[in-house]
Amino acid sequence: MKATRLHLLRHGQVDGFESKRYNGQGDTRLTDFGRQQSAAFAGRFQQQKIRAIYSSDLFRCRFAADQIAMLQAVRPVYREELRELHIGDWQGQTWQQLQRDYPELWQARLDDIVNVAPPSGESLLAMARRVRPVIKQIISAHLGEEVVIVAHGGVNRVILLDVIGAPLDRLFYIEQDFGCHNIIDYFADGIAVVKKLNG
């Protein structure tokens, strides 16, 4: 059987990108360039038959999904489970602020990024546990087809780490630029191959 091809995209550039900050599940606005990146996705898939488009329900992802859908005969499906890591009280704050205001917790999270959660937020392990079942559902529902998912840097990294069999603590060993395009082929025997990374 033909592989199920997943086009895994990251949303475009967002306001405040110049400073390292956690946007989390806040509905951060796209910059003008971020909107251009999202619109460019539509042209990229124009000659391909995309069977389904899934997206985080946050605007920065939905905008790209909607742009792609305009040239495809499918409607996007927005999934809350594809949201970025819930960063809790740290949402909107810069890394510099957090190192100043939460020095012990900041260091604890550096030491164990998989299990340590920010205040009122979720751990990386908790995020992975909500993302993984959705990916399995999507692949199972579209065997042998081409599918688009528009998500976030953290979510994409979890999906990619699972494909290559790497542990979650290697999250930042994979880069995911704004507006990037990854391609993963899932085969019937359970094998998956990353065909394109951070393109």
- Reference 85, options 196, 168, 194, 163; nearest CA is 168
What pLDDT shows up at residue 105?
93
CA 138, 141, 144, 146 dihedral sign is negative
What pLDDT shows up at residue 152?
98
Q: Name the one residue in this structure whose structure tokens are 């592989």.
A: 3
DSSP helix/strand/coil, 192: strand
Domain count, the chain: 1
CB proximity list for 155: less than 8 A, separation 6 or greater: 56, 82, 83, 84, 85, 127, 131
> What is the domain range of residue 146?
4-196
- Reference 23, options 86, 76, 98, 112; nearest CA is 86
Task: State the CATH number of the domain containing residue 190.
Answer: 3.40.50.1240
What pLDDT shows up at residue 92?
87
Q: Name the one residue in this structure whose structure tokens are 């539509």.
A: 42
Contact present, 28 and 50 (Cβ < 8 Å)? no
Element counts in the chain: helices (H) and strands (E):
6, 6
pTM: 0.95
At residue 183, what are phi and psi to the nearest 5 degrees?
Answer: -125, 130
What pLDDT shows up at residue 84?
97
Contact present, 51 and 76 (Cβ < 8 Å)? no
pLDDT tens for the 199 residues of the chain, in order: 799 999 999 999 999 888 888 888 988 999 999 999 999 999 999 888 999 999 999 999 999 999 999 999 899 999 999 999 999 999 989 899 999 999 999 999 999 999 999 999 999 999 999 999 999 999 999 999 999 999 999 999 999 999 999 999 999 999 999 999 999 999 988 899 999 999 9
What pLDDT shows up at residue 19?
81
